[in-house]
Structure 1
Amino acid sequence: MRTQVTLIEGIYGSASRVFASLVPPPEHREPFSTRSFPIAIISPSVPFLLLAYLSRRADTHLTRLLLLPVAVTSALYFTLHYKIEDARYGIFEFIRFLVGYYILGKSLNFAFVREGRFKTGERRLQRVNEVSASSGILPPSLNDALELAFAVRGIGWDFGRDVYVPPRTKSTQRGRFLRDATVACIKNFLIVDLCDSLIKLAPGVDSLEDGSMFLQDLPLHWRYSLSTAVYVLGGMLIIFGLEAGSDFVSLLAVGLLRSSPDAWFPLYDSPWRSTSLHHFWGKGWHQLLRHVFLSCGGYAGGWLAGQAGLVLGTFLASGLYHELGMQLLDHRIMLFFVLQGIGILLENVYKRYTGKRVGGVMGWCWTAFWVIILGQMCTARAIGRLPGAILIPRKLSIVRGLVFPGIRYLIESIVSR
């Protein structure tokens, strides 16, 4: 009996040490620096891309399952072993965590899908020993892995059959596409710069530690007017920031890697015009992580509780993803996403009893209440740290370097007359 207890204690102690080495507490994490950058990027990328490549090859299911522990360990190490110590760069720490969890989620998917991943219309996958013809500057195997790894929405793939695709805003002719993408990238960057600069003008909310959208010294109507403005500008930052990033990636993919312009669509479809939560989250908002959230929560919820479980499980996975990415032990962030699922289920009830969908002006107000009003209550702490963080350095800010000084000069000139 004593031998069994000692064995169990030894196994538990070894497991605890392994876990502590993979998931050290924040105070013991290594600072993320230029020296650690190569290993932090390469360590999760190699097994992740290898899994993506094997997902495009027939009869590799067992190999992918055997590789999965390496991919998971590397993703956790990359995500949790390092930290960006300067709180001013907290946005980039948030992005780094989101990327790490994305790699983790997609690695699980690549490993467990038995037959592999197919493009739309494909009936069979090549074997590992079959050689593909090269159509770009990269080796065919690496090109195949990158194409699947970055097919976030699954457009043109078996896992993206039901994803909503916004209407095109760019030409599908290569030269004109590159021109359109360049213009769009610059435009979106300027909008992000403007939103970031306007948020930083808000007095008293720019603390990195205890910043808040709600200034208690202001009268009630001014307090909530300011918080709503900061919240909406924060949302615009996300929308146009992601669009700018997508435009930049598309320029690299189409211009250098010879990707087809047909594969690149806008991320958003005017979410501010949504007249229901169904439309906002299903069409207006980006669908980048739809498949990840369905895989990590939606399908399990659907198995347990049908359509309601599918909706709530998907939003629960989304909430957990964002809460872990922000490294905030604030369950109101998760509550926000779960509330969105509840709102969608209420819309289903409304349609069932009235025969009509939520829409029109009242539908727009309904959507604004769930997304903006409840959103402020649930995400105030996270958004409150945004004004003090660095998104666009002042030296690169056109708005703060040229536009604001120009406006100030014009005002002073008018007043001094």
Structure 2
Amino acid sequence: MANAILYVYLYNRIPLFIALVVRPSPYRKLWFLPILCLNIWLLFCVPNTGESPSTSNSLGCAIFCSVLTASDFILLTDVQKELRLQNDKRDIPASSLSARMVWALKLMTSQRAVGWAHEPTGRIPAKPKTSRWTFVVSRLFLGACYYMLSDLLRILAQWRFAVVRRGTTDVGALGSLLDRMTYLTALAEVQMGLTMPYICMSAVSVALGLTEPKEWPAMFGSWSEAYTIGRFWGRTWHQMLRRLLTVHAKFVVKVLHIKNGTSLSWHVQLFVVFTLSALLHLVGEYRIFNNWTSGGAMSFFVIQAVGITIEDMIIALASKIGFRKTTSLSKLVGYVWVCGWLTWTIVWWIGPLTKARFGTPDDKQSVILEFFQRALANETFSIKGQ
């Protein structure tokens, strides 16, 4: 497991870093080949040596993400000429080697493009405006809260594990609905798993003076934004893959000679984005199951594009008959719709992943709950005299 992580997160970055540092040249694209070959080798030749399903899934996703990143920064984009830090007037190709190395490192470590000219400003949360140490203290406190919430979340996760173990036993309509809703806890697990290390890195980086608080907007947007499926995936959910997916979708539209700004262009990009996301998570599943058919990522992510298309048609129809403004009532209806949609579709993706976690380190109980159970069993909290 240690070797696989080292290959993905270190060796995999070296050729990409060099490709970003070298000056523009027709031969720069050749750097994509060693990255592609390395990732193919990592996926098919480096065995799973006992890592947990969650770790295997993360490694698989990282492998595909590395290929997409290399494709974007080496094949599709002349990065030194097209990508700029905000308020940076330098001519990067003409800059010194050390300046290009620093620039490349910043580009590689900014998945959401925060602080860059291509930053999706309307798609990520507001940037913190607090002072340095206020930010650090608030991040440490928030990190502690997230750790406790993550631990307590295991209680609901164990309910989901029990549901999956039970299978399709008839528990009635309400019971079935509640059972299916337990799968939504997986989304919270993803949020916790991505947010906690992000918070820790932000606190350390700002405390050391390496970055400023404004460079660390929240990883996830507000859940109040999620009153359509499109807004859930485009605003509430993390946007770390946004550029990687959209730049390839735009390339497909360009290859197909579809006019930009048209409904056809938008929908082609929509389906390309979710298909690539599905493939990314499919590679993660392959790392777990060692086959391409046991998981459900393809079904889940592709169907999200279908859901967005359906809701866009409904919104357009509602607008034509006079419902043009977003009201509190329409948002409430939207929340119910999004919750219902995710409750129905997420089972396809999370069900197989949950089964894979049975009996592994991922299948563990809440530490806080276990503490209270042991305390009660030992009558630690008993009242004397009763």
TM-score with structure 2 length normalisation? 0.81
CA distance in 2, matches of 1:48, 1:392: 36
* Residues 239, 203 of structure 1: alpha-carbon distance in 2 compared, 3 angstrom cutoff: closer
Residue 333 of structure 1: which of 273, 293, 297 is its match? 297
Matched, 1:405 2:374: yes
Q: State the 1:149 CA deviation.
A: 0.9
Matched, 1:111 2:77: no
CA distance in 1, matches of 2:205, 2:186: 28
Which is bigger in relative contact order (C-alpha 8 A, separation at least 6)?
Answer: 2
Structure 1 partner of 2:226: 274
Matched, 1:190 2:154: no
Q: State the 1:323 CA deviation.
A: 1.4
Say whether the 8 Å CA contact 1:117–1:158 is kept in structure 2.
Answer: yes
CA distance in 1, matches of 2:161, 2:312: 42
Q: State the 1:172 CA deviation.
A: 3.4
Q: State the 1:185 CA deviation.
A: 1.7
* Residues 220, 382 of structure 1: alpha-carbon distance in 2 compared, 3 angstrom cutoff: farther
Count of residue correspondences: 363
Structure 1 partner of 2:268: 309
Say whether the 8 Å CA contact 1:192–1:237 is kept in structure 2.
Answer: yes
Matched, 1:286 2:238: yes
Tell me the alpha carbon deviations over residues 263-303 of structure 1, each in whole angstroms, 9 at most, x when there is no partner.
11111123366211122112111111011111234542575
Q: State the 1:410 CA deviation.
A: 6.9
Superposition CA RMSD, Å:
3.3
SS of equivalent residue, structure 1 residue 154: coil
Structure 2 partner of 1:217: 169
CA distance in 2, matches of 1:346, 1:156: 35
Moved more, 293-302 or 319-328: 293-302
Structure 2 partner of 1:127: 93
Say whether the 8 Å CA contact 1:163–1:287 is kept in structure 2.
Answer: no
* Residues 182, 81 of structure 1: alpha-carbon distance in 2 compared, 3 angstrom cutoff: farther
* Residues 69, 295 of structure 1: alpha-carbon distance in 2 compared, 3 angstrom cutoff: same
CA distance in 1, matches of 2:250, 2:354: 27
Say whether the 8 Å CA contact 1:51–1:111 is kept in structure 2.
Answer: yes
CA distance in 2, matches of 1:278, 1:37: 33
Gap runs ≥5 in structure 2: 259-263, 287-291
Residue 318 of structure 1: which of 277, 285, 290 is its match? 277
CA distance in 2, matches of 1:65, 1:261: 35
Structure 2 partner of 1:353: 317
Say whether the 8 Å CA contact 1:298–1:311 is kept in structure 2.
Answer: no
Gap runs ≥5 in structure 1: 1-31, 133-139, 206-211
CA distance in 2, matches of 1:107, 1:349: 36
Q: State the 1:120 CA deviation.
A: 2.6
Q: State the 1:365 CA deviation.
A: 1.3
Structure 1 partner of 2:64: 101
CA distance in 2, matches of 1:388, 1:69: 39
CA distance in 1, matches of 2:9, 2:146: 27
Matched, 1:383 2:354: yes
CA distance in 2, matches of 1:312, 1:336: 13
Q: State the 1:247 CA deviation.
A: 0.7
CA distance in 1, matches of 2:269, 2:325: 20
Identical amino acids, percent of aligned pairs: 16
Structure 2 partner of 1:18: none
* Residues 292, 189 of structure 1: alpha-carbon distance in 2 compared, 3 angstrom cutoff: same
* Residues 128, 296 of structure 1: alpha-carbon distance in 2 compared, 3 angstrom cutoff: same
SS of equivalent residue, structure 2 residue 239: coil
Residue 154 of structure 1: which of 113, 132, 144 is its match? 113
Query: Which amino acid letter does the alignment assign opposite residue 335 of structure 2?
Result: W
CA distance in 1, matches of 2:332, 2:168: 32
Tell me the alpha carbon deviations over residues 334-354 of structure 1, each in whole angstroms, 9 at most, x when there is no partner.
222222212222222223222
Q: State the 1:238 CA deviation.
A: 0.8
Moved more, 259-268 or 339-348: 339-348
Say whether the 8 Å CA contact 1:196–1:387 is kept in structure 2.
Answer: no
TM-score with structure 1 length normalisation? 0.75
Say whether the 8 Å CA contact 1:68–1:111 is kept in structure 2.
Answer: yes
Say whether the 8 Å CA contact 2:21–2:97 is kept in structure 1.
Answer: no
CA distance in 2, matches of 1:37, 1:240: 21
Structure 1 partner of 2:18: 50
Q: State the 1:308 CA deviation.
A: 1.4
Tell me the alpha carbon deviations over residues 296-328 of structure 1, each in whole angstroms, 9 at most, x when there is no partner.
345425755422111111111111111122214
1:72-87 correspondence to structure 2 within 5 Å = 72-86=36-50
Say whether the 8 Å CA contact 1:195–1:234 is kept in structure 2.
Answer: no
